[in-house]
Amino acid sequence: MRSLRLLSLSACVVAALAAGCKSETAPPAASADPAPAAAAQPAGAQWDAAVDGFLQGFFEHFPVAGANAGKHEFDGRLPDYSPEGLQRNIQWLHQQRDAINAFGDDRLTAPQRYQRDYVRAVIDGQLFWLEDSGFASKNPAFYAGDLSPSMYLTRPYAPLPQRMAAFVSYQDNLPKAAEQIRANLKGPLPASYIELGTMVFGGFAEFFKNDVPKAFAEVKDEALQARFKASNAKAIEAMQGLSDYLAAQKPQATQDFALGAEKFSKMLKATEGVDLPLDQLKAAGEADLERNLAALKAACDQYAKGRPIVECIEKANADKPRGGAVEGAREQLAGLRQFIVDKDLVSIPGTEQALVEEAPPFNRNNFAYIEIPGPYEKNLPSVYYIAPPDPKWPKAEQDAYVPGKADLLFTSAHEVWPGHFLQFLHANRSQWKFAQLFVGYAYAEGWAHYTEEMMFDAGLDGAGPEIHIGQLTNALLRNVRYLSAIGLHTGGMTVAQSEQMFKDKAFQDPGNARQQAARGTYDPAYLNYTLGKLMIMQLREDWTAGHGGRGGWKAFHDQFLSYGGPPIPLVYGQMMNVPAQAKLWTAPKPAAAPAPAANTALPPATGSPDKAAPKSAM
């Protein structure tokens, strides 16, 4: 499930923040002194001016991020993907980092020191994707976010003719962007990257040809329609040409996608502030996987006693939502919101609701995601998108791709109530604009994934075994993502091995297993769902220990959501009043049976006393 705002740090849409732009005039160079003209101002005023300056410069360097945030003076602009354009952004970010670091602890209040660390973390994340990942030269995911036209078509921020004019400008800029992307994506490329690129860019071409003209058909401006028709033809040709170029690379395809242990660790430190040994990270993921597998076995023993776990899950998934996944999700949202209110789990600021729609053809590489308007927009809807199965799949695989009602319930919880949508209702009300704009991958996805288990623990839909199976199958999917990311990028795991693990441990159907394994190659940070959840669960345990235990959940949730979306270790430091740190939750082990009294005679031993309990059937 994709992270939301294109200003999030999700690696799925990393291009939305990590690519260059072409400005009409060169952006002003940053100074080592963040506010040289305001040297006489108090340090606090200088700090505020420095952050405001960073935001303005950021939008100039990354105009798609500006447009998606609701700064529509940047509409239609696409980045300059040339090596020179990318290097300009790297240089600017380094200048900004130096300027931010010039604010020493002695110049700032405690809240401002936290803000400084937040800004620096965002810069470090951007620099990793631009400088260290190598994605600009081989990974189509680096570009996909910026090229998405969804904002102009699905977000009613202006009258349709105005959005059409912006879309025409966007189409006008696509051929040059495609040419630069083609020059950057030098073969040989990993097979999964080629498949992603052909699907995404080919999907754009198909969408521009078949769907976009219908979206603007009612606009009566003949001159604008003529401009649209001309730019549309060139956009289709550019995107199809890029797709065909990548398809032609298939004979030379490689499996050279791994970041390597050193770079993977640097990714976690730079993007999420997590500086833990890989063996510790892997052990935490394996422990959570085994915890959830054991819980699934227990739930299946109640729901489908005597049947293998695979058949148990099939039984639960056979209970399909009425009218399909989109209609089913629409029915679920009202009940999820009411459950939050009835149980008083977390505050709901505002009265906004999320719509549910079928995902557009160019963005169906994952089952569900939500698009939420940026913080500069006003009174616009958010849309929870659900992808249909690929019509080229066999009928049985298409049917299996549509989740059962219980599975879909926790997808809806993740995307809307109380997951991503509620989190951004809180973030958009932050008093600090920077916190509204920059929401990290582990924060957003960790919160959304955390809420699934939290809602089950609170008794969602009676919390019976079928409901538990829905929650656990979602959790196991994220467990295997976590372990696949580490394995694929640091442990020599093959795509086929990852795909098999999704089938064996997360019980995914063949279509989803293929998608998920491939995603791990081009989205190495998709471990952040479980990583973020484990950090939040540990923070909840530590914080509520001094704030009423279980009775402190609502206060914990409200305070956690008040920070916007920084790296979770920064939030841990703020809420616990300690230095920032990454702590992963691990489930307490079951208490050992009490030892018999010394004078009690023991029965004769039978069987093997050291035999482990049987593992879940696969």
DSSP label of 596: P
- Average pLDDT over every residue of 376-389: 92
Alpha-carbon gap, residue 502 to 513, rounded angstroms: 5
617: pLDDT strictly greater than 60: no
Looking at the chain, how many residues does it have? 618
603: pLDDT strictly greater than 60: no
Alpha-carbon gap, residue 73 to 80, rounded angstroms: 17
Which residue type, as a one-letter code, is found at position 422?
Answer: L
pLDDT of residue 254: 97
- Average pLDDT over every residue of 361-366: 72
- Average pLDDT over every residue of 210-217: 94
86: pLDDT strictly greater than 90: yes
610: pLDDT strictly greater than 90: no
With cut-offs at 50, 70 and 90, classify the pLDDT of residue 591. low
Domain ranges, ordered by start, for the chain: 267-576
List the single range of 149-163, 281-295, 568-582 with lowest mean pLDDT: 149-163
With cut-offs at 50, 70 and 90, classify the pLDDT of residue 616. very low
State the DSSP H helix or E strand holding residue 383, giving kind and residue range, or none if neither: strand 382-386
The β-bridge partners of 254 are 190
What count of Cα atoms within 13 Å lies in the side-chain half-sphere of residue 289? 22
Tokens at residue 47, please? Answer: 């700090």
DSSP label of 388: P
pLDDT in tens, 37-78: 444 466 789 999 999 999 999 999 999 999 999 999 999 999
| Cβ-based neighbour number of residue 552 at 10 Å | 16
Higher pLDDT, 610 or 456: 456
pLDDT of residue 596: 38
pLDDT of residue 365: 66
List the single range of 86-100, 311-325, 360-374, 596-610 with lowest mean pLDDT: 596-610
pLDDT of residue 321: 95
235: pLDDT strictly greater than 60: yes
Alpha-carbon gap, residue 15 to 610, rounded angstroms: 52
pLDDT of residue 356: 97
- Rounded to 5°, the CA angle 485-486-490 comes to 120
| Cβ-based neighbour number of residue 500 at 10 Å | 13
In 135-264, the DSSP E strands lie at none
- Average pLDDT over every residue of 330-349: 97
pLDDT in tens, 255-298: 999 999 999 999 999 999 999 999 999 999 999 999 999 999 99
DSSP letters of 52-109? HHHHHHHHHHSHHHHHHHT-GGGTT-----SHHHHHHHHHHHHHHHHHHHTS-GGGS-
Helix, strand and coil in the chain, % to nearest 5: 65, 5, 35
605: pLDDT strictly greater than 90: no
With cut-offs at 50, 70 and 90, classify the pLDDT of residue 590. low
**Is the omega angle on the peptide bond into residue 594 within 30 degrees of 0, that is, cis?**
no
- Average pLDDT over every residue of 172-183: 98
List the single range of 337-346, 364-373, 438-447 with lowest mean pLDDT: 364-373
Task: Please compute Rg for the chain using Cα positions.
Answer: 25
Residue where the block lists tokens 């810069």: 123
Tokens at residue 249, please? Answer: 């690379």
12: pLDDT strictly greater than 80: no
The β-bridge partners of 385 are 357, 369
What's the mean pLDDT when you consider all of the chain?
Answer: 89
pLDDT in tens, 130-155: 999 999 999 999 999 899 998 998 89
Alpha-carbon gap, residue 496 to 482, rounded angstroms: 16
512: pLDDT strictly greater than 90: no
- Average pLDDT over every residue of 83-111: 97
The closest of 380, 439, 371 to 163, measured between CA atoms, is 380
Higher pLDDT, 381 or 161: 161
